[in-house]
């Protein structure tokens, strides 16, 4: 049973560029959430996608956007990259309408901004 998979593993970009990160949810899951984890900090919630729509959003600017596809996979896009966007980006999947099922995380994409 494949867990949550994310690509790429590592990415290096320069300020002002744009980046797209990808996530495939755990088999059977239909909801995808994205988190940003800065060094030495806990993950911060960016947004959540369900039925191809953004269902919830944390305190992140509009430079952060996303998409969910019919097969439940998801992308996170970040525009106009800043040095402060350097972090581990985590994807978590879950099953909607199931209070007994927690979120399961992938190993993340490590994004470095030069």
Partner 1 sequence: QKEVEQDPGPLSVPEGAIVSLNCTYSNSAFQYFMWYRQYSRKGPELLMYTYSSGNKEDGRFTAQVDKSSKYISLFIRDSQPSDSATYLCAMSAVGGGADGLTFGKGTHLIIQP
What is the contact surface with partner 1 in residues (CB under 8 A)?
Answer: 4, 29, 31, 33, 35, 40-45, 47-48, 55-56, 58, 90, 92-108, 110
DSSP letter string over 75-91?
EEEE-S--GGG-EEEEE
Q: Tell me the C-alpha to C-alpha distance, in Å, between residue 88 and each of 21, 36, 62, 70, 100.
A: 11, 6, 19, 26, 27
Q: Residue 37 Cβ, how far from partner 1 at the closest point, in Å?
A: 8
Q: Residue 99 Cβ, how far from partner 1 at the closest point, in Å?
A: 3
When the beta carbons of 21 and 108 are compared against partner 1, the nearer one is 108
Percent helix, percent strand, percent coil in the chain, to nearest 5: 5, 50, 45
When the beta carbons of 47 and 64 are compared against partner 1, the nearer one is 47
Tell me which DSSP letter residue 4 carries: -
When the beta carbons of 30 and 75 are compared against partner 1, the nearer one is 30
Cα gap 52→91, rounded to integer Å: 15
Q: Residue 15 Cβ, how far from partner 1 at the closest point, in Å?
A: 25
When the beta carbons of 13 and 110 are compared against partner 1, the nearer one is 110
Q: Residue 16 Cβ, how far from partner 1 at the closest point, in Å?
A: 27
């Amino acid at each position: 049973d494949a867990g949550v998979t994310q690509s790429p593993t590592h990415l290096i970009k320069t300020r002002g560029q744009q980046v797209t990160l990808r996530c495939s949810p755990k088999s059977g899951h239909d909801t995808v959430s994205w988190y940003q984890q800065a060094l030495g900090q806990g993950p911060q919630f960016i947004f959540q996608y369900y039925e191809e729509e953004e269902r919830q959003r944390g305190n992140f600017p509009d430079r952060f956007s996303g998409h969910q596809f019919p097969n439940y996979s998801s992308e996170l896009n970040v525009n106009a990259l800043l040095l402060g966007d350097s972090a581990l980006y985590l994807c978590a999947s879950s099953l909607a309408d199931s209070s007994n099922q927690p979120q399961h995380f992938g190993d993340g994409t490590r994004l470095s901004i030069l």
